[in-house]
């Protein structure tokens, strides 16, 4: 019984680290599309909001980068949209793994 638990725990850890290491770009792109992010953002050009590539440049390699971006896309901070203070949009799917995948995808650009 104990062995079974150990095995199950080991498998869980392995699955978690695989999920952590790999960005599912297709899922991230689908998420930003269904959440309406692309009205204001594009991957490589500035629209109302910064290009995701510029966001990546700004936060890549920073220890608090992922946390900051997770907050940006889940807690509706007030941003300046064309001179108007507006709550920033959140991702539709706020499942932590899905949010993390979007953030890691942006940082990988
Ligand atoms: C109505 C327009 C609008 C929509 C929709 C929008 N954003 Fe933004 N976003 C902005 C603006 C404006 C900024 C710049 C805010 C600032 O620099 O203070 C921004 C900033 C960001 C940043 C960078 C934050 C930083 O600190 O540099 C990220 C990442 C981001 N948005 C992701 C998203 C995602 C993901 C979505 C969809 C859930 C989304 N945005 C939807 C307007 C928008």
* 3-10: long-range pairs with CB below 8 Å, 24+: none
Record the tokens describing residue 3, joined without a space: 């062995």
Express each pLDDT in 86-107 by its tens digit: 999 999 999 999 999 999 999 9
Q: Classify residue 12: in a domain, yes or no.
A: no
Name residues whose C-beta falls within 8 Å of residue 39's C-beta, 6 or more positions apart in sequence: 47, 48
Protein residue with least CA distance to atom 31, ligand 1: 49
For the chain, give the mean pLDDT: 89
Instruction: Judge if pTM exceeds 0.75.
Output: yes
Q: Could you tell me if the CB of 32 is within 6 A of ligand 1?
A: yes
Q: Which domain holds residue 103?
A: 24-107
CATH code for position 64: 1.10.760.10
Could you say which DSSP state residue 89 is in?
Answer: P
- As a whole number of angstroms, the distance between CA 79 and CA 38 comes to 16
Record the tokens describing residue 40, joined without a space: 């204001």
Q: Among 29, 33, 39, 41, say which to mutate for ligand 1: greatest number of ligand atoms within 8 Å of CB.
A: 41
Q: How many domains does the chain have?
A: 1
Express each pLDDT in 22-42 by its tens digit: 899 999 999 999 999 999 999
Q: Classify residue 11: in a domain, yes or no.
A: no
Say how many Å lie between the CA of residue 61 and the centre of ligand 1: 20
């Amino acid at each position: 019984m104990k062995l079974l638990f150990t095995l199950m725990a080991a498998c869980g850890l392995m699955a978690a680290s695989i999920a952590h290491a790999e960005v599912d770009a297709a899922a991230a792109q689908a998420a930003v599309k269904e959440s309406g992010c692309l009205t204001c953002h594009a991957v490589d050009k500035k629209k109302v909001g910064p290009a995701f590539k510029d966001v990546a440049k700004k936060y890549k390699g920073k220890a608090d980068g992922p946390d900051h971006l997770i907050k940006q896309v889940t807690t509706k901070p007030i941003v300046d949209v064309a001179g108007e203070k507006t709550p920033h949009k959140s991702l539709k799917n706020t499942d932590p793994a899905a949010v993390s995948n979007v953030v890691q995808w942006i940082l990988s650009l």
